[in-house]
Structure 1
Amino acid sequence: MVALRPSPLAEQAAALLEERIRAGRWPVGGKLPGEVALAKELGVGRSTVREALHTLAAAGMVRSRQGSGVLVTADRPAGDWAARLRRAEPAHVYEVRTVVEVQAARLAATRRTEADLAALDAALAARRAAGEGEGDDTAFVDADIALHTAVVAAAHNPVLDDLFAQFAPVLREQLVTLVGLFGLRAEDPNHGYGSHADLVRALRDGDPEAAGRALAAELEATRARLLDH
C-alpha cells in the first residue's frame, strides 16, 4: 500500500495511477482494478479514487464502460501529444506530417465531393490572395494551413481530421518561423503556389497517385531545407 501525503489526495492518486499506466502495469485496452481494490492499494477512500479516475478520463487516458469497468484508452494524457510536437525537431515533425497528409491526399482524391472541391478551390484562391498581399507571413501561413486542412477534410476520415488538428497549431508556429528564417517569400511572395495548384488539380481529377506525389514533393522540399539548415 502506498502512503499518500495529506495534500490533494485525488491529484496524487491520479498521478500514481498515470505512472503505473505509463509503466505498462495496466496496458492500453486493458481494465483497471475496481474502486475497492484501487482504494486499498492507494490507501485512500473510494471517493478519492473516483475523483482520480475522473481526472484521468478528462485527460483521455481511461474510459468507463457500463458493465465492463474502467478501461485504459491511452498511456499518456492527450495534452502530451501537442507538447511532444513542440519539443520535436521540425524535420521529424515534417516526416510524420508527410505520412499523415500524403495518405489523406490519396484518400481525398477518391472521396472528395463537389462541396469539397469548391472548398479546395476557395482555399487555394485564398492562399494565392494572401501571397499577393502586403508581405504578411502570418496571414500567408494561415492560408496555407487552411488549404491543407481542406485536403485532409476531403478524405472524410474523422481520425485524420483529429490528428491533423493536433498538428495544425504546432505547424503554424513552425511555419511562421521558417518562412522568415529561410526567406521563402523574398523572391516569390506566393512560394509553393504551383505545387499546391497541382495538388488541387489532382484531387479534382480523382488521381490519388498524382495527389500523393504533389504533396509529398512539397513537404519533402521543406524537410530538405530543414536538414540542410
Structure 2
Amino acid sequence: MVSQVRRQPLAAQAADLLLTRIRNGEWPLGHRLPGETTLAAQLGVGRSTLREAIRELAGKGVLDSRQGAGVFVTALDVTEDWDVVLRRATIASVIEARIAIEAEAAALAAQRRTPADLRAIRRALAAREAHGEPIADHVDADMAFHRAVIVAAHNDVLTQLFDSFLPRLRVAMIDMLQIRPAPSEPADHDAHIRLTDAIAHRNPSAAAEFSRKHLTALKDAFT
C-alpha cells in the first residue's frame, strides 16, 4: 500500500506564515497585528482560516486576542516544552543556568533565612558530609543541600526552576563522578561550609560569591 503525503491544513500554513513574520521582527513584542480583512488578504486565506491560525498561535502563547482591541504579539517564538529543552541541553549549559539561579538564591537566603531555614541547611550539610558512598547517595545529599539554600531564599520561582533541573542534573552528576571523582572531596565540602557560614552571618555578597565559585569549578570539571 502506497502512503500518501498529507497536505498541511490551510490554517496551520497560515499560522506558520504569521510566526515567520513575527520571528523576522515585522511585529515587535506587544504590537497589534493588522485587522482581519487586511491580514487575511496578505496571507491569501479567508477570515475563518485566519481566525483558526490566530487561535493556534494564541494556544502556543505567541498571540493574544483581546475583545474589542485586536490581536497582540505576546511572544516572539513558540516556547518549547521545558523537559525537551533540558534533555537536549549540555550539562555545562545546565550548570551555567544553576550559577545564575543559585548565586542569586544564596544572596537572598543570606538576607531572608529564618532560624528554621538555617537549621535545615546545616542538617543538609551534615548529611552531605556523611554520604560519601555510594555515589548516588552522595549526589542526592548534595542536591538536598543546594535545594535547602534555595528554599531559604523564599522565592517560589527559583525553587521551581531548580526542581526542574534536578532529574537532568542528578543523572549527569552520577555519571561524571563514576568516571572522574572529585579531585578533593574535603576541599569541595569546605566550599559548602563557607557558603553556609556566609548565609548564617547574613552576608549576601559572600554567599553569592561562594556559590558562584563552587558551581563554576563544577562546570570546569565537565569541560
Shorter chain as denominator, the TM-score bin is 0.7 to 0.9
Residue identity opposite 1:217 in structure 2:
K
Contact 1:82 1:170 (C-alpha < 8 Å) held by counterparts: no
- Give the match's secondary structure for 2:26: coil
Q: For residue 134 of structure 2, what is the amino acid of its counterpart?
A: G
- Structure 1 residues 212 and 86 mapped into 2: Cα distance closer, same or farther (>3 Å)? same
Give the TM-score, by structure 2 length.
Answer: 0.73
Distance in 2 (alpha carbons) for counterparts of 1:146 and 1:55: 40
Larger Rg: 2
Of 186, 193, 198 in structure 1, the residue corresponding to residue 194 of structure 2 is: 198
Which residue pairs with 2:3 in the alignment? none
Provide runs of 4+ in structure 1 moved above 6 Å: none
Say whether the 8 Å CA contact 2:111–2:203 is kept in structure 1: yes
Residue type matched to 1:216 in 2? R
After superposition, the C-alpha distances for 1:80-129 in whole angstroms (9 at most, x for unaligned) are: 66655555554454344323321221122112234533543454455445
Which residue in 2 is equivalent to 1:154?
Answer: 152
Q: Match of 1:76, as an amino acid?
A: D
Distance 1:17 1:225, change over 3 A: same
Closer/same/farther in 2, CA of residues 140 and 54 from structure 1, 3 Å limit: farther
Q: Which amino acid aligns with 1:26?
A: W
Q: Secondary structure at the match of 1:71?
A: strand
CA separation in 1, counterparts of 2:10 and 2:43?
Answer: 10
Q: Give the TM-score normalised by the residue count of structure 1.
A: 0.72
1:218 Cα offset (Å)? 1.0
SS at match of 2:175: helix
User: What is the match of residue 59 of structure 1?
Assistant: 60
Counterpart CA distance in 2 for 1:87 and 1:20 is 27
Contact in 2 for aligned 1:27/1:72 (Cα 8 Å): yes
Paired residues in the alignment total: 218
Let me know the Cα RMSD of the aligned residues: 3.5
Gaps of 5+ in 2: 1-5
Q: Which residue number in structure 1 is paired with residue 107 of structure 2?
A: 106
* Whole-angstrom CA distance in 2 between matches of 1:200 and 1:208: 11
Deviation for aligned residue 1:221: 1.4
Identity %: 47
Shift of 1:79: 1.6
The aligned residue for residue 22 of structure 1 is 23
